[in-house]
Structure formats: C-alpha cells, structure tokens
C-alpha cells in the first residue's frame, strides 16, 4: 500500500517551513526501505529519518537508498525512540511519519530468522539480533502459566493451556531449538476440526511468540505518544497494523488525541481542552482487492492516520 501511504501523507510531505526548508519524513519501521524509496523519489526536497531495530535491515536499506545520499539519516533504534532519532538527525520535529508494524516481508523471507512456520528453522524471531530473548528461550524457560498467557493474550489461541502443557512435557525430553518440532506439536495439540477451519495451526502461536520476544505491544504503546508529541503542527502520521491487538492500541490512542476533554454539552471547548489532532481516515482503511491480489500479505492490514491541527501551550 505504498502508493496509498504517500497519498495520505502528501499534504504534510509538500510543506515548506518559514526558514525555507522542506518537510521531514520519519519512517519508524524502515525495513528494506520500500516506502522510503517511493517518498524520496516523489519528493526530492524532503529530508528523511529511517529507524529500524534490525541492523541487517538497515544495511539493506542503506544500499537500496544510497542514491539519495545525505538526505537520509539512518537510526538503529526501536521505533519508540522517536526523540532520539530526531536528535541524531538534528531535527526538532517531523512533518510526515509512517509506522508499518509487525514483522517485515524481508524478515519473513529469511528462513534463518525463524519468523515463518512454513520452514524448519532456528526458533529465533528477534527483530534485533542483538537482543537476548529468543523464541526458544520462551518455550524452554517460561512456566506453564507464562506460556499459556503469551499464547492467549498475544495469539488469541483457544487452546493455549493445552499447547502450554504439551510444550512443558516435550521440553523435558529435549529443549526446543527449531520451528519444525514446534509445528509438529501444534498439529498434535490442536483438534482436527479446528485445524480444518481455523487456518494454519501454527499461525497464532508464532505470532504470540514473536510479539513476546520483541516486546512489540509495549514498544507500540510507547511509540505512539512519542510520535504524536514530536509531530509538527500540520504534520501527519499513518500507522499500518496487521492484527487486532495492534489496531486496538492505535485506535485507542488516536481517539484520545482527537477528542475534546471539555465536559460534554458545552457549546465550545474550554481553554486547553480542544483536541490537537484530527482523524484523516474514516475508521481503519483496508487494502483493495487489487492490492491483495498483488500482495497477499496486505490482506490483514488496517490503516489509521491523523493530522496535528494545533499545539497546546505548555
């Protein structure tokens, strides 16, 4: 949905500041640089800050975006480190931002990273390979209750307790190291009737493990206030979510930021209570049929975007 993202952000990307400088674009989830490449090509005057927690992704992006030279500042951080990224780029704020959440296509396509359940690979799932916790660590060291909580809370897995029992029993024989053994366990633990109608039996468990390993929801809860607080007036922020837990967090934050805090029933907002942001998407936008046909991974995407319309006096 790169083209749609650019459409949503164009009013902010075409801004010019009083000092004559152009807009600043913040890509909080740079990945291999696809979205940023389109922005850089379409808006030659835009300065770009690209954040990613994955050093491998940053190296690929640096190579892909090398033609744009010093227009781009690459930052090796989680996307909740917005203030630090701006500091490294020498910017006080940014005008247009995009967060493309979840695991990237690039990471899914690297079997050795362990994100995909379709191949037998090490149970890693770290977006930043320098982090300590792996999916194997979760399976081999968490208690039954902790594993069940992760699978239920982050994967909405109906059979979380049953799967956790099977994992604890299996790891006593031999620790988990590769995804193939976990997938086999899931086929045995999940009833056949559910397997026939509920999609791949490993999908929910792998999602839950990935979210736990990378503290994804904590990062998102921290990132949204940081991104909104550092957005310039007239700037826009778009978020692409791929599962309901992410989208609920985004929706809740956006609703709070676009709602007056004045008591209901007053004809005007009290001083200091008017919202600083307004929604520029109606609900959550979904990918078109044509987009899904071209890129099946876009089928689950939900897009929400806001514009900053004011800044309250401190």
Q: Among candidates 227, 275, 279, 211, which has minimal Cα distance to 251?
A: 279
> pLDDT tens digit string along 136-180?
999 999 999 999 999 999 999 999 999 999 999 999 999 999 999
Tokens linked to 215: 């503290």
For residue 4, give the nearest of 261, 220, 239 by alpha carbon.
Answer: 239
Q: What is the pLDDT of residues 261-291, one digit of tens each?
A: 888 878 888 888 889 999 999 889 998 888 8
Using one digit for the tens of pLDDT, what is the confidence trace for 24-80? Answer: 999 999 988 889 999 999 999 999 999 999 888 899 999 999 999 889 999 999 999
Written in H, E and C, the secondary structure of 69-126 is HHHEEEEECCCCCHHHHHHHHCCCCEEEEEEECCCCHHHHCCHHHCCCCCCCCECCCC
Within 8 A by CB and 6+ apart from 96, the residues are 9, 12, 13, 23, 24, 25, 26, 39, 46, 235, 236, 237
Q: Which neighbouring-strand residues pair with 306?
A: 237, 279
């Amino acid at each position: 949905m790169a083209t749609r993202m650019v459409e949503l952000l164009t009013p902010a990307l075409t801004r010019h500041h009083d000092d004559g400088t152009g807009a600043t674009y913040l890509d909080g989830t740079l990945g291999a640089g696809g979205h940023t490449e389109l922005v850089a090509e379409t808006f030659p005057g835009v300065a770009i800050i690209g954040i990613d927690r994955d050093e491998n992704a940053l190296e690929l992006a640096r190579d892909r975006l090398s033609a744009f030279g010093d227009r781009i500042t690459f930052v090796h951080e989680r996307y909740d480190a917005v203030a630090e990224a701006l500091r490294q780029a020498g910017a006080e704020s940014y005008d247009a931002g995009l967060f493309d959440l979840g695991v990237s296509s690039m990471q899914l396509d690297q079997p050795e990273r362990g994100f995909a359940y379709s191949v037998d690979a090490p149970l890693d799932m770290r977006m930043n390979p320098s982090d300590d916790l792996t999916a194997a660590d979760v399976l081999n060291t968490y208690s039954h209750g902790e594993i069940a909580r992760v699978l239920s809370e982050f994967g909405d897995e109906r059979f979380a307790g049953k799967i956790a029992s099977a994992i604890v029993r299996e790891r006593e024989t031999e620790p988990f190291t590769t995804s193939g053994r976990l997938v086999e366990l899931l086929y045995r633990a999940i009833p056949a009737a559910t397997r026939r109608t509920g999609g791949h039996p490993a999908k929910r468990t792998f999602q839950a493990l990935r979210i736990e390993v990378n503290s994804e929801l904590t990062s998102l809860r921290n990132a949204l206030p940081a991104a909104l607080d550092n957005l310039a007036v007239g700037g826009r922020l778009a978020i692409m979510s791929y599962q309901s837990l992410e989208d609920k967090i985004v929706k809740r934050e956006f609703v709070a930021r676009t709602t007056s805090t004045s008591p209901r029933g007053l004809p005007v907002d009290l001083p200091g209570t008017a919202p600083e942001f307004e929604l520029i998407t109606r609900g959550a936008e979904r990918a078109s049929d044509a987009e899904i046909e071209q890129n099946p991974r876009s089928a689950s995407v939900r897009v929400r975007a806001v514009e900053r319309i004011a800044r309250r006096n401190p």
